[in-house]
Structure 1
Amino acid sequence: MTKPWILGLTGGIGSGKSAVARHFIDLGVHTVDADQAARWVVEPGRPALGKIVEHFGEGVLLPDGTLNRPALRERIFRDESERRWLEALLHPLIRQEISDYLAQAESPYAILVSPLLIESGQHRTTQRVLVVDAPEALQIQRTVQRDSSSPEQVEAILKAQASREERLRHAHDILVNDRDLGWLKSEVERLHRFYLTLRGGRES
C-alpha cells in the first residue's frame, strides 16, 4: 500500500475551514486537527502538563487537574521569554502527535487542518495546501455570530493570523467559501475526486 500524501488545510478565522474539514471526513478522508493535537499533549497524565506545572506552578491548573488555559495565556502574554519556553516544550510534542496520527491514515491522502499552517511552518510537512478563503466582512460576520465576540476582537485576531496574501501565496488550491453549505459540500466533493487522481499530491 502506498503511503498517503498529506494535504494541509487552512484558512483565516470564520473562513469555514471546519465545515470543509467535516465534509472531507464524511467522505472518509483521515483528518487530524492541529488545535486538537495541541490539546491532547497537555491532557492530565501527559508529561507536558507536569512540566508546565513544574515551571509555572499549580496556579495554571483547574480544580479538576486540567490545564487552566486562560491563566496560562495570561502568564505567557505578559512575558515573551515564558511564551518561548512554552513553545519550545510544546511544538515538538505537537509535531510528533500530528505525525503519529497521520501515520495511521488508510485513506489515499490525509488532511492536516491547522489555522496556523503557514505561520507555524507546518505546511512544510504537507505535499499540497488547500486554503479556504472568504471576504473579510463575511469572516467577521460569521465569527461574531459563532463566538458572540465583538467585530473589534475578530479584527484583532485577523491581524494576528497570516495575511490573506501570505496564505494564498502558499496555496495549491483555493476554495472561496462565500455561498451556502450545499454549494460548499459539492465543491469539497469536486476537490476530493481531483485529489484521488493525484500521486503524492502532485498533478502528473
Structure 2
Amino acid sequence: MAALRVGLTGGIGSGKSTVLAMLAQAGAAVVDADAISRATTAPQGAAIAAIAQRFGAHFIDAQGALDRALMREHAYRDPLARKQLEDIIHPLVGAESARQVEAALASGAKCIVFDIPLLVESGRWRSQVDRVLVVDCSPETQVARVVARSGLKPAEVEAIIAAQAPRALRLAAADIVICNEGLALDELRHEVVQAARRFGL
C-alpha cells in the first residue's frame, strides 16, 4: 500500500512544530520543507553560489550564509528579487524533498508528513498531498505565544499573521483540524495520536 501523504500547516504560533514532532514520535516520516529551505542558504548551502552570482557577494555574510536581513529588505523593496530568490531555492527544496520521500518509502513508511508553512498560499501543494492537517488557534493566542518566545512586539507579530493566509482560508483547506487552544501538552498529544490513527499510524 502506498504511503499516505499529509500536508501539515498552521499560522505562526499555532504549535505546528510541536505537532510535527509528535507525529514523528507516532511513526510518521517527516519532510520539513522549511528546514530544507533554511539549509540551502546556510554556510556552504546548495543555494549560496547561485545567490552570490545573481545578487552579488555582499548578500553572503562572513560565515558563508545568506544575509537574511539584507535579503529581506531587498526583496521587500523589489518583488522581482523575491521571485528570483524563490527560483533558486524552490527547485533545490523540491529535489531534496523528493530524495527524503524516496528514503521514507524505501524504509516502509506508512505516512509521510510534509511540514508546509505556505501550503494554502502556494497553491501547488494541495495536489501533492492526500490529506491536509491544520493546527489552529485564535490570533490572540498566536500573538501571545510568539511574543513570549521571540521577544517581538505584538504589532510585529500581527504584521506576520496578516502576511500569512487568512485563518478561514486555512480552515477551508483542511481535512483535519487540531484546535490547539488552551490545551496542556498531554491533551495536545492525545489529539495528535487520534489524527495519527486516521493516517494509519
Normalised by the size of structure 2, how large is the TM-score? 0.91
Residue 64 of structure 1 corresponds to which residue in structure 2? Answer: 63
2:115 matched to 1:116?
Answer: no
Q: Give secondary structure in 1 for the equivalent of 2:95.
A: helix
Instruction: Report how far residue 194 of structure 1 moved.
Output: 1.9
2:196 matched to 1:187?
Answer: no
Residue from 149, 152, 155 that aligns with 2:155: 152
Distance 1:150 1:46 in 2: 31
Q: Give secondary structure in 1 for the equivalent of 2:69.
A: helix
Q: Give secondary structure in 2 for the equivalent of 1:115.
A: coil
Q: Please, which moves more after superposition, 130-139 or 99-108?
A: 99-108
Instruction: Report how far residue 45 of structure 1 moved.
Output: 4.0
Distance 1:119 1:96 in 2: 20
Q: Please, which moves more after superposition, 74-83 or 17-26?
A: 74-83
CA contact (8 A) 1:59 1:71 kept: no
Assess, with a 3 A threshold, how the Cα gap between structure 1 residues 47 and 26 changes in structure 2: closer, same or farther. closer
> What percent identity do the matched residue pairs reach?
37
Residue 12 of structure 2 corresponds to which residue in structure 1? Answer: 13
Q: Which whole-Å deviations, capped at 9, do the CAs of 1:150-171 have from their partners, x for residues lacking one?
A: 1101111111000111111110
Unmatched tracts of structure 1, length 5 or more: 198-204
Distance 1:148 1:97 in 2: 32
Alignment of 1:1-204 (within 5 A): 2-105=1-104, 106-121=108-123, 122-178=125-181, 179-196=183-200
The CA RMSD over aligned residues, in Å, is: 1.5
Q: Which whole-Å deviations, capped at 9, do the CAs of 1:61-112 have from their partners, x for residues lacking one?
A: 1112122111221221111111121122222222222222122113201100
Instruction: Report how far residue 47 of structure 1 moved.
Output: 4.5
Distance 2:45 2:152 in 1: 32
Unmatched tracts of structure 2, length 5 or more: none
Distance 2:54 2:131 in 1: 38
Instruction: Report how far residue 114 of structure 1 moved.
Output: 1.5
Q: Give secondary structure in 1 for the equivalent of 2:2.
A: coil
Q: Please, which moves more after superposition, 96-105 or 28-37?
A: 96-105
Distance 1:161 1:136 in 2: 12
Distance 1:119 1:95 in 2: 17
Distance 1:29 1:134 in 2: 23
Residue 202 of structure 1 corresponds to which residue in structure 2? Answer: none
Normalised by the size of structure 1, how large is the TM-score? 0.90
Instruction: Report how far residue 136 of structure 1 moved.
Output: 1.3
CA contact (8 A) 1:41 1:97 kept: no
Instruction: Report how far residue 31 of structure 1 moved.
Output: 0.6
Instruction: Report how far residue 28 of structure 1 moved.
Output: 2.0
